[in-house]
């Protein structure tokens, strides 16, 4: 139909998409290799501000770890682009869709079942493609640097559980969205957006209480002195939490963390056992005060509002794109309404998948905006922690966590601008009192 005309919207869209994919690939490679060169170039010496705080061996371990992850990262970048290309312009999604249509045709019926099968098959295939690299990251790289605590058995059990949980939540959600797309008229995207928002809120309630306990053990914080200290900090900051928990993060990894989870008054404070083992009570209090700073400055609410607004824009866009033939043909897919005019076989699953494949390609270029906002929030939370707890304790906690996690102290500045959600240690410490005083 349209393919022969050189100015067809379909061809134009193919070109725009291919250009964006190439630009994204080149930019990702360029940034990743810059970061690796920068880290390798600063490997020989602990940067002067940190001399005396970080041993040379730890600095070099961080460099080696960053480089090892970077090399796999290059492979990941190439694989990611190949997978997107394979699904779209090389015809992977079209072939999968046609195969499932043929299968359904033989048995009669179709519609929702075929579409759900398409979504599930797509997710499974993508999961299988990602599997080797994930295994390599955990059992080769994390292992080599002493971070991995997982056995293959635990890894397999996790995979099985997360697949089941994903299917349990994902399939009904997908079925509901597909149903809305077919039955809710031209404003389906508004309903689908409302459903998506509701689902996200539900997850925020269910995650800490139902999902996370499937993977980890959560025990109430037993250390009475620390408990009182933290309770006092929460009270001082006017913060309502439902409980303080310790998570057995050490079962899987030596990396340490602390976080808040849940909604409203049902919020929980969760400490990784690895964090409690490594930090002093002063430092733990400071780390928690930093997290409280995010709440006090309404960062969480702002981020959620931004996500709500962006997903609304996404659904508006999807609602329009799903009706445009060039959106499908331009991405290498023959929509059902073009193959069999007048047929009742819907294209909704195709539209969802193409959208999910294409949005990250274009959205990638906006990553620096998001990262920049996040870094500003981190500074605000640090300042709050310095006021409510101790800036010096936060600084020493940051140094310990950097060393323990083998995070590089010498990232490439441009790489930081593009990707880092947290400012580099040097910038954070420079804004805190001692031990940054001598930095
Ligand atoms: Zn933070």
pLDDT score of 439: 46
CB contact burial 274-308 (16+ within 10 A = b; e otherwise) = bbbebbeebbbbbbbbbbbbbbbbebeeeeeeeee
Task: Give 213-262 pLDDT, tens digit per residue.
Answer: 999 999 999 999 999 999 999 999 888 777 899 999 998 988 888 887 77
291 part of the active site: yes
Q: Which residues contact 238 (CB under 8 A, 6 or more apart)?
A: none
pLDDT of residue 153: 94
- Tell me the DSSP string of 175-207: HHHHHHHHHSGGGHHHHHHHHHHHHHHHHHHHI
CA of 380 relative to ligand 1 center, distance in Å: 9
Helix (H) or strand (E) holding 121: helix 112-136
290 alpha carbon – ligand 1 mean position (Å): 6
Q: How far is the CA of 378 from the centre of ligand 1 (A)?
A: 5
Instruction: Compute, in angstroms, the gap from residue 48 CA to the centroid of ligand 1.
Output: 26
Residue 213, number of CB atoms within 10 A of its CB = 13
Cα separation, 426 vs 399, whole angstroms: 10
Could you report the per-residue pLDDT of 85-95, keeping only the tens digit for each?
Answer: 999 999 999 99
The predicted structure's pLDDT at residue 301: 87
CB atoms near residue 421 (< 10 Å): 12
Report CA(226)–ligand 1 centroid distance (Å).
Answer: 21
pLDDT confidence of residue 3: 46
Ligand 1 mean position, distance from CA 294 (Å):
7
Which residues neighbour ligand 1 (ion) by CB within 5 Å? Answer: 378, 381
User: Is 35 in contact with 67 (CB distance < 8 Å)?
Assistant: no
Of 76, 291, 380, 427, the active-site residue reads 291
Q: How many CB atoms lie under 10 A from the CB of residue 334?
A: 16
Distance 292 CA to ligand 1 centre (A): 9
pLDDT means per 10 residues in the chain (439 residues)?
65 96 97 97 93 92 96 96 97 94 67 90 96 94 93 94 95 95 91 95 88 93 92 89 88 84 77 92 94 91 91 95 93 80 76 96 95 95 94 93 92 96 93 60
Phi-psi region of 195 (alpha: psi -120 to 50; beta: other; left: phi over 0): alpha
Give, as one character, the DSSP assignment of residue 218.
E
At 363 the pLDDT is 94
DSSP assignment letter at 364? G
Give 214 Cα–ligand 1 centroid separation in angstroms. 26
Phi-psi domain of 90 (left: phi exceeds 0; alpha: psi -120 through 50; beta: other) = alpha
Contact 273, 253 (CB under 8 A): no
Distance 234 CA to ligand 1 centre (A): 17
Coil vs helix vs strand at 219 = strand
pLDDT score of 243: 86
The gap from C-alpha 97 to its chain's centroid, in whole angstroms, comes to 28
């Amino acid at each position: 139909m349209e393919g022969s005309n050189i100015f067809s919207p379909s061809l134009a869209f193919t070109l725009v998409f291919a250009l964006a994919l190439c630009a994204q690939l080149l930019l990702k490679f360029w940034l990743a290799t810059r970061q690796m060169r920068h880290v390798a170039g600063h490997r020989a010496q602990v940067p002067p501000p940190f001399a005396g705080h970080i041993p040379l061996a730890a600095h070099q371990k961080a460099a080696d770890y960053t480089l090892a992850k970077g090399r796999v990262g290059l492979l990941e970048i190439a694989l990611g682009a190949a997978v997107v290309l394979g699904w779209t312009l090389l015809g992977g999604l079209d072939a999968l869709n046609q195969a499932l249509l043929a299968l359904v045709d033989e048995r009669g019926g179709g519609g929702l079942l075929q579409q759900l099968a398409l979504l599930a098959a797509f997710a499974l295939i993508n999961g299988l493609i990602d599997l080797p690299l994930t295994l390599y990251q955990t059992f080769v790289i994390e292992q080599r640097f002493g971070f991995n605590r997982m056995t293959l058995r635990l890894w397999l059990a996790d995979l099985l559980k997360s697949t089941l949980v994903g299917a349990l939540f994902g399939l009904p959600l997908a079925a509901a969205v597909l149903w809305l797309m077919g039955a809710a008229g031209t404003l389906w995207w508004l309903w689908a957006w409302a459903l998506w928002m509701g689902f996200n809120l539900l997850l925020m309630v269910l995650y800490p209480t139902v999902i996370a306990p499937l993977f980890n053990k959560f025990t109430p914080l037993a250390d009475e002195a620390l408990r009182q200290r933290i309770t006092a900090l929460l009270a001082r900051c006017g913060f309502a939490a439902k409980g303080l928990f310790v998570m057995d993060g050490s079962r899987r990894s030596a990396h340490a963390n602390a976080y808040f989870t849940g909604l409203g008054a049902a919020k929980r404070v969760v400490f990784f056992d690895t964090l409690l083992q490594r930090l002093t009570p002063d430092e733990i209090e400071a780390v928690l005060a930093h997290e409280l700073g995010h709440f006090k400055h309404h960062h969480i609410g702002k981020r959620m509002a931004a996500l709500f607004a962006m997903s609304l824009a996404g659904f508006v866009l999807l609602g329009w794109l799903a009706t445009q033939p060039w959106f499908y043909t331009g991405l290498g897919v023959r929509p059902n309404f073009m193959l069999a005019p007048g047929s009742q076989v819907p294209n909704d699953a195709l539209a969802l998948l193409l959208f999910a494949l294409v949005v990250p390609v274009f959205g990638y270029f906006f990553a620096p905006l998001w990262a920049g906002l996040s870094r500003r929030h981190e500074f605000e939370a640090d300042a709050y922690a310095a006021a409510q707890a101790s800036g010096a304790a936060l600084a020493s906690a940051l140094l310990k966590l950097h060393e323990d996690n083998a995070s590089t102290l010498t990232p490439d500045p441009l790489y930081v601008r593009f990707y880092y959600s947290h400012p580099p240690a040097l910038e954070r410490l420079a804004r805190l009192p001692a031990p940054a005083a001598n930095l």
